[in-house]
Amino acid sequence: MKSQLLVAAALAACLAGAGPSFAQDATTTSSISPAEAAQFLKKENIQDFYTDPNLKTMKSEDEVKRVFEAMNADDKAKMKAACAANEQSRFAGLCKKIGSM
């Protein structure tokens, strides 16, 4: 009986210790400032959404969705947060599409 209580206590301690770190990671990328959004919405992070190197012509909606879905989870979260904080009109179309995904 004592061993079961010790195992349960150890498991509870492990879970309690892991909880805050998950919450901290989620809030780190979900809310960023407009300046941080501008930093993320740089050519190297968003080039794949456009057909030209000057970021003037966006790919089709299906291609934008395919590019977004190919991103890792952290970059997806950063992209959504950057678009939510975006204040640059040149990225309004891209951010509208990203926001609907």
pLDDT digits (tens, 9 = 90+) for 39-81: 889 889 899 999 999 999 999 999 999 999 999 998 999 899 9
- Is there a single domain that holds both residue 90 and residue 58? yes
Full residue range of the structural domain in which residue 25 is found = 1-30
**Count of structural domains within the chain:** 2
- Is there a single domain that holds both residue 25 and residue 39? no
- Is there a single domain that holds both residue 38 and residue 17? no
Q: What are phi and psi of 84, to 5 degrees?
A: -65, -30
- What is the rounded distance in angstroms from the CA atom of residue 36 to the CA atom of residue 82? 7
- Is there a single domain that holds both residue 40 and residue 89? yes
Higher pLDDT, 49 or 11: 49
The label of the residue with tokens 């003037």 reads 56
At 34 the pLDDT is 79
- What is the rounded distance in angstroms from the CA atom of residue 83 to the CA atom of residue 92? 8
30-34, 59-63, 94-98: the lowest-pLDDT one = 30-34
At 30 the pLDDT is 54
74 contacts 24 by C-beta, under 8 angstroms: no
- Is there a single domain that holds both residue 48 and residue 90? yes
- Is there a single domain that holds both residue 38 and residue 21? no
For the chain, the straight-line distance linking the first and the last C-alpha, in angstroms and rounded, comes to 50
- Is there a single domain that holds both residue 8 and residue 39? no
